[in-house]
A and B are shown apart, each in its own frame.
Chain A
Amino acid sequence: MSELKLVITGTAGVGKTTAIQSLSDRPPIATESETTDELSEIKSTTTVAFDFGEIYLDDGNVVHVYGTPGQERFRHMWEIVAEGAIGFIILVDSSRDDPVADLKMYIDNFKTFIDETSAVIGVTRINEFNGQCIEDLYCFLEKEALFYPIMAVDPRDKSDMSQLMLSLLAMLEYG
């Protein structure tokens, strides 16, 4: 039996903490503090250290999944959390102004880690008006010669998140 470490990252409010709550087979650890800035219009608490969840796979392996804080001021946690990860799940919020720029920022920031491992992209808050977002993200990745799967997901939905995670694990195994 082995322990696999995955990391979920993305902008504040995209759904990282929610995703880990959906995925984890045991009560997850969250480090939420009350928001005191403009983010309080969207949510009342924010992750300041990391989220942690455990998932037991059918093959007997255990996945330890860590969520990062979203905001750049918590960059110090990004490096700590990324250490030793074998794969990255980047969540992109399709309702934000420039989802491509968001994705680019997280790919750039975790580049040294992702280059040695792999990544999948989950797009949240997709609705009938912003489906184009996924196309834009594909175009961007293609231009950058990065071949990461992209899926629309709802972080509140366990099966969405499981599929995204399993596609990452499959890439790591066969990629």
Chain B
Amino acid sequence: MTDKKQIVIKKQVVDDSLANLLETSKGIYAALLSSTDGHALAKKAVDELSDARLAAMTSSCLALGEKIAIEAQQVGCNFVIIQNTNGFLVMRRVGKKLVITTLANNNVNLGMVISATNVAAENLEKEIRV
């Protein structure tokens, strides 16, 4: 890990942050930490989660959200939210190179998921050494 491009973050901190996120509510059933260029780094899930595909798609989606914000003359895209009939996904950038994605069903409200994701992201941001 001598390459300075490498993202350095303590595994324990990541695992704890993701675990806390899932403990916030029974409605939150998975959380994924990935790089903004689309690699899965860590996950916590109640059931199976195909993290590789989700990580790549998340990075596309986040980049698009940021471009759409700029096109609309807005800045600082913090969250991309995908709301569906049976649940939602909340994506939030963590520092420059990471993104956290929270998957929830309808048993929890969106505000709570956003807030919990924010807490996890802020915890991780404090810990990142790039």
Interface residues of A (CB under 8 A from B): 29, 31-37, 40, 46, 48-49, 69, 71, 73-74, 76-77
Cα-based distance from A32 to B38 in the complex (angstroms)? 11
CB distance from A59 to the nearest CB of B (A): 28
CB distance from A62 to the nearest CB of B (A): 18
Chain A residues, CB < 8 A from B118: none
B52 located at the interface, meaning its Cβ lies under 8 Å from any Cβ of chain A in the complex? yes
Cα-based distance from A69 to B71 in the complex (angstroms)? 21
CB distance from B52 to the nearest CB of A (A): 7
Contact of B57 among A31, A36, A40, A76 (CB under 8 A): A76
A35-B5 in contact given A73-B38, A73-B56, A74-B56 (Cβ < 8 Å): yes
Cα-based distance from A48 to B91 in the complex (angstroms)? 15
Encoded as 1 (CB less than 8 Å from any A CB) or 0, chain B from 50 to 83 comes to 0011011101111110110001000000000000
Q: B56 to A76, Cβ gap below 8 A?
A: yes
Contact of B35 among A32, A36, A49, A71 (CB under 8 A): A36
Q: B64 to A49, Cβ gap below 8 A?
A: yes
Q: B60 to A49, Cβ gap below 8 A?
A: yes
Chain B residues, CB < 8 A from A34: 36-37, 96-97
Cα-based distance from A46 to B71 in the complex (angstroms)? 20
* Count of CB-CB pairs between chains A and B under 8 Å: 63
Chain A residues, CB < 8 A from B64: 31, 49
CB distance from A11 to the nearest CB of B (A): 15
CB distance from B54 to the nearest CB of A (A): 10
Chain B residues, CB < 8 A from A32: 63
Q: B37 to A31, Cβ gap below 8 A?
A: no
Chain B residues, CB < 8 A from A49: 60-61, 63-64, 67
Within B1-47, the residues touching A (CB, 8 Å) are 3, 5-7, 35-39
Contact of B5 among A36, A71, A74 (CB under 8 A): A36
Q: A48 to B53, Cβ gap below 8 A?
A: no
Chain B residues, CB < 8 A from A74: 38, 56, 60
Contact of A36 among B7, B62, B67 (CB under 8 A): B7
- Offer 28 A-B interface pairs, CB within 8 angstroms, sorted by A: A31-B64, A31-B67, A33-B38, A33-B97, A34-B37, A35-B37, A36-B6, A36-B7, A36-B35, A36-B39, A37-B39, A46-B37, A48-B36, A48-B38, A48-B59, A48-B60, A48-B62, A49-B60, A49-B61, A49-B64, A49-B67, A69-B60, A71-B38, A73-B39, A73-B53, A73-B56, A76-B56, A77-B60
Q: A33 to B59, Cβ gap below 8 A?
A: yes
Cα-based distance from A155 to B36 in the complex (angstroms)? 25
Q: Which one of B3, B36, B37, B39 has the highest number of Cβ atoms from chain A below 10 Å of its Cβ?
A: B37
